C-alpha cells in the first residue's frame, strides 16, 4: 500500500507538475525543480520499499520524504484551507507506517537467519 502511494504520488509530480508547484513554499524558490526532485525521490522510495533487500532503506527514505514534504502540505492548507488542515496530523501515522514497512524487512531477515543451519542453509 505504501509502495503504490509513493510511486503513484511521485509519478503524479510529472503528470501534473503545476498542481504541485503551487504548494511549494515561496521561500524555497524554483518550485518546478522541487516538484521534479521530490517526484523522483518518492518513486525511488517506493521502489526501494518494494524490494526485500532494499526495504529497510526504502522505509527510512519514505519517512524522510514524508517529513520533507510537510512544508508543502502546510502551504497547501494555507493556500486553500478547509479540510486540508485536517490532513496535516495524518503525516505522523504515515511516517510511522513507512518506518514500520522498512522494519518488516529486518524482522524477516532476522527470522531467516535464526532458522538457518550451521552451514547457513535453511
- H runs (alpha helix) in the chain: 2-15, 17-21, 31-50, 55-68, 70-80, 84-87, 91-114
Residue 90 pLDDT exceeds 70: yes
Residue 117 pLDDT exceeds 90: no
| Cell numbers given for 80 | 486553500
For 51-88, what is each residue's pLDDT tens digit? 999 999 999 999 999 999 999 999 999 999 999 999 99
User: Which three-class secondary structure state does DSSP give residue 54?
Assistant: coil
In this prediction the pTM is: 0.79
Identify whether the C-beta of residue 102 lies closer than 8 Å to the C-beta of residue 60: yes
pLDDT score recorded for residue 78: 95
What is the rounded average pLDDT of the residues 31-49?
96
Q: What is the DSSP letter of 16?
A: S
pLDDT score recorded for residue 26: 94
Amino acid at each position: 500500500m505504501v509502495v503504490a502511494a509513493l510511486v503513484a504520488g511521485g509519478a503524479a509530480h510529472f503528470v501534473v507538475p503545476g498542481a504541485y508547484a503551487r504548494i511549494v513554499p515561496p521561500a524555497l524558490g524554483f518550485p518546478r525543480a522541487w516538484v521534479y526532485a521530490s517526484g523522483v525521490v518518492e518513486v525511488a522510495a517506493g521502489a526501494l520499499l518494494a524490494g526485500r533487500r532494499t526495504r529497510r532503506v526504502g522505509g527510512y527514505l519514505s519517512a524522510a520524504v514524508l517529513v520533507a514534504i510537510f512544508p508543502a502540505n502546510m502551504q497547501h492548507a494555507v493556500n486553500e484551507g478547509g479540510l486540508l488542515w485536517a490532513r496535516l496530523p495524518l503525516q505522523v501515522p504515515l511516517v510511522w507506517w513507512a518506518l514500520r514497512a522498512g522494519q518488516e524487512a529486518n524482522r524477516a531477515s532476522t527470522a531467516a537467519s535464526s532458522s538457518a543451519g550451521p552451514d547457513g542453509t535453511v
